[in-house]
Structure 1
Amino acid sequence: MTSRRGFIKAGGLALFGIGLGGIPGFLAEAVASTDPLGLFKRRKIMVCIFQRGAMDGLMAVTPFTDPYLKAARPGLFMSAVASQKNRPLIDLDGRFGLHPAMSAFEPMFKEKRMAIVHGIGSPNSTRSHFDAQDFMESGTPFKKGTESGWLNRAVGLLGHDAATPFQAVSLTSSLPRSFYGDHPAVAIRNLADFNIQMKGNQASVNNTARTFEDLYDQTSSGLLKSTGKESFEAIKMLQKTDIKNYRPENNVVYPNTALGNSLKQIAQLIKMDVGMEVAFAESGGWDTHFNQGTDTGVFARNVNDLSNSIIAFWSDMAKYQDDVTLMTMTEFGRTVAQNGTGGTDHGRGSCNFILGNSVKGGMVHGLVNPLAKENLEDGRDLPVTTDFRSVFSEVADKHLGIKNDKILFPEWNGKQIGVML
């Protein structure tokens, strides 16, 4: 018997395909054999942001009492003590300081809604951006041929089938590696334009809803008008909503940046209740090989955008905060020592941020030993002391109710670190 998931997958291909013919018999069988899942049932939502380019975790969250770091970064080191030269770091716990351009995070950390994990990264020591991103998104850091992404597998482990094509949505121009796989996932570049891509059909489809509406109208009573109706109604809702004139909660102003606009649109989808449960966005520009800056410069601009965009989203989610957890990720960190051009090179461990009402917040989790050369990986890098899978699995398990880590991360046998309540 064809499963409902099979129907939704096939329905997705019909929904976003071009030049479709009639309705296959198995589709009718799937519809007849299942009851529709309510589109508007409120569920938990996990939002993931990939910081592409490798964020310098030692500058984002600095162990400012470490003399070795100060010596290794004569032009980049920042202190928690105010000076005429730089704005000071925001002292989190007497040892770690938050970059001053990330001041938007400070209240969330103090309210224990934000957790930081330091020394996080991949056990694979590659310093290739492409390979490290691929390993992190597939969730199999020692296996290149994995066809699925860990977020797609997470969708498959939610314990119910999709009633909507918007269960897993990436606000990107193409489907990210994290969403590759057998389960429904879509990439929407811009809600106002409503261009959608699906893996297996990389052509941009501008008349998506019209194609599906034609298909819907041609069906006999009940074929798509039971199970397929949720998908159709979600698309109609999306098209009829005044996306461009959206007004966030409490007059929140999002940064007018790629990340700010992506999170704003994720907030719109959540409020429209189109059945989204996993969302994905990207932030670029983290490859700071030269002129990284300190309290100003390219890194400061990046972390300012990251923190302000996330906090705008969180404030906009005022009525949904119990349902939403947000997590950042980056493929690796930067070298402990600065290079000759005022930047940092490809390294190993970095840090990430987790925001939600169910996180064990107000803490810098993970292990960061003194940054003496003998403690560094290859004599140059912050070691990876927390496997990214131990954090990603815990957030997905605790927030989304996923129970099978052997499928979520098939090569991993480690332990979670207690970052969630």
Structure 2
Amino acid sequence: MDAQRRGLLAAFGASALLTLFPGATRAATGHDTRFLLVLLRGGLDGLHLLPPYADPAYARLRGEGAVDDPIRIDPSFGLHPALQQAATMYRARELLPIVAIAPPYRERSHFDAQDCLENGTASPTGARDGWLGRCVQAMPGGAGFAVAAVMPLALRGSDRASNWWPPLPKDVDPQLLQRLQPLYAADPRLSETFERSTHAATMARDGKGAFALPEAMRIAAQRMSAVDGPRIGFVEDSGWDTHRNQAQVLQRKLAELDQGLAAARAGFGAAWPRTVIAVVTEFGRTAAINGTGGTDHGTGGMALLCGGAVRGGRIGGDWPGLAPAQLNQGRDLRATSDLRGLFKSVLTEHIGLAESAVESRVFPASRAVEPMAGWRAA
């Protein structure tokens, strides 16, 4: 058979497949995959979510603040007991915790760290738009969608991105709430009160209670699971700045995250095998517990990858240890991976963006950051 006839038959086969099974064709070519970014604002304590129970320095640093009886998923690490659904996903090889990972920012300001994470550069002022927005613009089709009161920095920069939030009472301005949140977050006594008040002001229309993280993740997943739904999604949640009473606060917050992961899995439905969710935060916490039963701003954090397209059931990343000489500045878990490396790999291997577009447009001036390998299911 000559080359011309082989080419005609190949074209006919592709055309027939597109006609008979359009969804299958999009999935096979990488154009039907989904990526949801969940940003936990405030600096989640990764050592509390994924306690390194086998490291003797952990109990010494945390004392009574150490997590009791974690769900042991690995000879060295366990999940917090509130993360029952996450543990089930881990055992199903759909959850991959990644240790000691953070944006390139290495200081301790919430605002600068979040800006750096969202703009996708090495500087809080490195870009006025976001890496997810630039990703949407670089895609040949598809859209971005945020469950947020105002368009987050991460998705700015694309005319194919939109945001949604439950209607607020007429006398509450969502932009004002967003501007006030960092101010209240800086005060450990007022942050939780502000969060509860904000949730009370954003009651869902069905009257079932506050519009919290599980509902936001469910709605994002349902919107994104539609045949022509947005391929890129964003959800944010506040209240992770645990300067005091960390055990009590994170018991509640981690339970909400756990419910959110389960809600997203159900919401994605048939799209779950083609889905990746990344749960990230702007930085970690101090390795030692402070005098008020909490932790302070740190550097090295953690991330969770989950979804049917994730090769989970193991621990990812490079663990630096918690011995005094291994800590950053003698106080924090040291970051050994750049979040941009994880994001780069997701965009090229899962979303299907060309490496050239990722390096030049989505994450400019980042060629020294290698894409993270080995996270994707075969």
TM (norm. structure 1) is 0.69
Instruction: Please show how residues 165-204 of structure 1 align to structure 2 within 5 Å.
Output: 167-190=143-166
Match of 1:342 among 271, 279, 293: 293
Correspondence list, 1:111-190, <5 A: 111-142=92-123, 144-158=125-139, 160-162=140-142, 167-190=143-166
Runs of 5+ consecutive residues of structure 1 not aligned to the other structure:
1-37, 79-85, 200-242, 246-253
Determine the structure 1 residue equivalent to 2:49: 60
Instruction: Return the alpha-carbon distance in structure 1 between the equivalents of residues 259 and 158 of structure 2.
Output: 34
- Corresponding position of 2:4: none
Give the residue type in structure 1 aligned to 2:153: R
Tell whether the 8 Å contact from 2:112 to 2:124 is kept in structure 1 after alignment. no
Cα contact 1:153–1:183 (8 A) shared by 2: no
Secondary structure of the residue aligned to 2:344 is helix
Q: What SS does structure 2 have at the residue aligned with 1:377?
A: coil
Which residue of structure 1 lines up, in the alignment, with residue 366 of structure 2? 412
Post-superposition Cα deviations, 1:345-387, rounded to whole Å, max 9, x if no partner, equal 0001111111122212111111112211111100100011010
- How far off its partner does 1:276 sit? 1.0
State the match for 2:312 in structure 1. Answer: 361
* 1:277-296 pair list within 5 angstroms: 277-293=231-247
Mark the structure with the bigger radius of gyration: 1
Residue 397 (1) aligns with residue 351 (2): no
Partner of 1:268: 222
Letter in 1 for 2:32: R
Please list every run of at least 4 consecutive aligned residues from structure 1 whose deviation after the TM superposition is greater than 2 angstroms: 190-193, 254-257, 270-275, 315-318
Q: Distance in 2 between matches of 1:271 and 1:182?
A: 21
Which structure is higher in helix share? 2
Q: CA deviation at 1:394?
A: 1.1
* SS of 1:123 mapped into structure 2: coil
Alignment of 1:312-351 (within 5 A): 312-351=263-302
Pair 1:91-2:72 in alignment: yes
**Are the equivalent residues in 2 in contact too, given 1:191–1:265 (CA < 8 A)?**
no
Measured in 2, the distance between the counterparts of 1:145 and 1:374 equals: 32
Mapped partners of 2:98, 2:272: distance in 1: 21
Shift of 1:309: 1.1
Provide closer, same or farther for how the CA distance between residues 182 and 74 of structure 1 changes in structure 2, counting only shifts above 3 A. Answer: same
Q: Deviations over 1:309-368 (max 9, x none)?
A: 111220232312123211111000000001111100000111111112221211111111
Partner of residue 109 from structure 1, selected from 69, 83, 90: 90
Aligned to 1:109, the other structure's residue is in SS state helix
C-alpha distance in 1 between matches for 2:218 and 2:123: 35
The answer to whether the 8 Å contact 2:115/2:153 transfers is yes
Post-superposition shift, 1:111? 1.2
Structure 2 matches for 1:215-294, cutoff 5 A?
A: 257-293=211-247
Paired AA for residue 136 in structure 1 = L
State how far apart, in whole Å, the 1-side matches of 2:62 and 2:209 are. 31
1:47 is the counterpart of 2:36: yes
Q: Which residue of 2 aligns with 1:76?
A: 65
Q: How many angstroms apart in 2 are the aligned matches of 1:281 and 1:124?
A: 21
Q: For 1:124 and 1:244, locate their aligned partners in 2 and report how far apart those are by CA, in whole Å.
A: 39
**Partners of 1:169 and 1:187 within 8 A in 2:** yes
Q: Describe the superposition over 1:63-90 as per-residue Cα deviations: whole angstroms up to 9, x where unpaired.
A: 1111112111112112xxxxxxx4x101
**Which whole-Å CA distance do the structure 1 matches of 2:268 and 2:347 have between them?**
19
- How many pairs does the alignment contain? 312
Q: Which residue of 1 aligns with 2:186?
A: none
Equivalent position of 1:300 in the other structure: 251
Checking the alignment, whether the CA contact within 8 Å between 1:255 and 1:261 is kept in structure 2 is no
Please say if residues 332 and 346 of structure 1, whose CA atoms lie closer than 8 Å, have aligned partners that are also in contact: yes
8 Å CA contact retained: 2:100, 2:320: no
Q: Distance in 2 between matches of 1:255 and 1:114?
A: 29
- Percent identity between matched residues is 31
1:394, 1:420 within 8 Å by CA — same for their partners in 2? Answer: no
Offset at residue 156 of structure 1 (A)? 1.6
Tell me, in whole angstroms, the C-alpha distance in 2 between the residues paired with 1:365 and 1:272.
Answer: 31
> CA–CA distance in 2 between the matches of 1:337 and 1:137?
28
Separation of aligned partners in 1, 2:231 and 2:303:
21
Distance 2:161 2:99 in 1: 30
Report SS of the residue matched to 1:73.
helix
Q: Is the 8 A contact 1:255 1:308 kept in 2?
A: no
The CA deviation at 1:191 is 8.1
Aligned partners of 1:120 and 1:351 also within 8 Å: yes
Q: Is the 8 A contact 1:257 1:305 kept in 2?
A: no
Question: CA separation in 1, counterparts of 2:159 and 2:305?
Answer: 25
**Deviations, residues 191-244 of structure 1 (Å, cap 9, x unaligned):** 899xxx9x9xxxxxxxxxxxxxxxxxxxxxxxxxxxxxxxxxxxxxxxxxxx97
